[in-house]
Homo-oligomer: A and B are copies of this chain.
Amino acid sequence: MLPYKNLIIIDKTSHIAVFKQIAVQFIGLIQKGKLLPGTKLPSTRALAYDLGLHRKTIMAAYDSLVSEDWIDSLPRKGYIVSPNLPFVKPRSYNSNGLSAYENEPGFIFDSLSSYINPSSPSKKHELIIDDGLPDTSLLSPGIMLAGYRKALDYPTLKKISTGWDLEGSLDFRNSLCHFLNQTRGIDITTENLLTARGAQMAIYLSASLIIKPGDKVIVSDPSYFFANMIFERFGAELIYVPVDHDGMCTEVLEELLKKHSVKLLYVIPHHHHPTTVTMSTARRNELLILIKKYQIAVIEDDYDYDFQFEYAPYLPLASGDHEGNIIYIGSLTKVLGAPFRLGYIVAAKKFIRSAAKQRLLIDLRGDVFTEQVVSGLIENGELTKLIQKANKLYRHRCHFAAELFAKQLGGIVQLTKPNGGMALWLQFKNDFPLAKVIANAKGLKIIGSVYSKERNSNFNAFRFGFASLNDEEIIKAIDILKTTIHK
Interface residues of A (CB under 8 A from B): 14-17, 20-21, 24, 27-28, 31, 63-64, 66-69, 86-95, 97-102, 104, 106-109, 112, 116, 118-119, 122, 128, 130, 133, 136-137, 139, 141, 144-145, 148-149, 152-154, 157-158, 160-166, 182-183, 185-189, 192, 197-198, 200-201, 204, 208-210, 226, 229-230, 233, 264, 281, 284-285, 288, 291, 295-298, 311-315, 318-321, 323-325, 327, 337-341, 346-351, 353-354, 357-358, 360-365, 367-369, 372, 381, 384-385, 388, 447, 468
Nearest residue, chain B, Cβ from A281:
B69
Contact in complex: A357, B148 (CB < 8 Å): no
User: Could you tell me if A91 and B346 are in contact, using CB atoms closer than 8 angstroms?
Assistant: no
Residue in B130, B209, B340 whose CB lies within 8 Å of A104: B209
Report B-chain residues with C-beta under 8 Å of the C-beta of A99: 297, 323-325, 347-348, 351
**Which chain B positions have C-beta within 8 A of A291?**
100
Partner of A200, one of B165, B210, B320, B361: B361
Q: Which residues of B are found within 8 Å of A201, using beta-carbon distances? A: 362-363
**A363 contact from B106, B200, B353, Cβ within 8 A:** B200
Apart from the given pairs A68-B315, A136-B158, A164-B447, 14 other A-B contacts in the complex at a CB distance below 8 Å: A15-B385, A63-B312, A93-B349, A101-B325, A107-B357, A128-B162, A162-B468, A197-B362, A204-B361, A338-B368, A339-B365, A339-B368, A339-B372, A341-B363
Which residues of the other chain, B, contact A197 by a CB distance below 8 angstroms? 197, 362-364, 367
Q: Are A185 and B24 in contact (CB under 8 A)?
A: yes
Contact A139 B118 (CB under 8 A): no
What's the least CB distance linking A371 to chain B, in Å?
9
The minimal Cβ–Cβ distance linking A350 to chain B, given in whole angstroms, is: 6
| Chain B positions within 8 Å of A93 at CB level | 186, 188, 192, 324, 346-349
Residues in B whose Cβ lies below 8 Å from that of A313: 64
B101 contacts A183, CB within 8 Å?
no
B164–A119 contact, CB under 8 A? yes
A148 in complex: contacting residue of B15, B95, B144, B346, CB < 8 Å: B144
CB <8 Å contact, A157 and B185: no
Asked whether, in the complex, the Cβ of A116 is within 8 Å of the Cβ of B166, the reply is yes
Q: How far is the CA of A281 from the CA of B65 in the complex (A)?
A: 12
**A388 contacts B15, CB within 8 Å?**
yes
> Which of B341, B346, B372 is the one whose CB lies under 8 Å from A364?
B341
Q: Which residues of B contact A66 (CB under 8 A)?
A: 312
A92 CB to closest chain B CB (Å) equals: 5
Which residues of the other chain, B, contact A158 by a CB distance below 8 angstroms?
Answer: 136-137
Query: Does B148 lie within 8 Å of A162, measured CB to CB?
Result: no
Q: When the two chains form their complex, are residues B361 and A315 in contact, meaning their CB atoms are under 8 A apart?
A: no
Task: List the B residue with the shortest CB-CB distance to A196.
Answer: B363
Option from B108, B128, B149 in Cβ contact (under 8 Å) with A354: B108
Selected contact of A312 from candidates B67, B112, B128, B351, CB within 8 Å:
B67
- In the complex, what distance in Å separates the CA atom of A285 from the CA atom of B87? 9
**What are the nearest 5 A-B pairs in CB distance?**
A99-B324, A15-B384, A101-B297, A339-B369, A67-B312
Give the residues in chain B near A209, CB-CB below 8 Å.
101, 104, 106-107
Question: How far in angstroms is the closest Cβ of chain B from A481?
Answer: 18
Would A161 and B133 count as touching, CB distance under 8 A? yes
- Complex Cα spacing A321 to B90, Å: 7
A2 to B366 alpha-carbon distance, docked (Å): 46
Q: Which residues of B contact A98 (CB under 8 A)?
A: 295, 323-324
**A160's contact among B281, B295, B339, by CB below 8 Å, is which?**
B339
**Docked complex Cα distance between A362 and B298 (Å):** 19
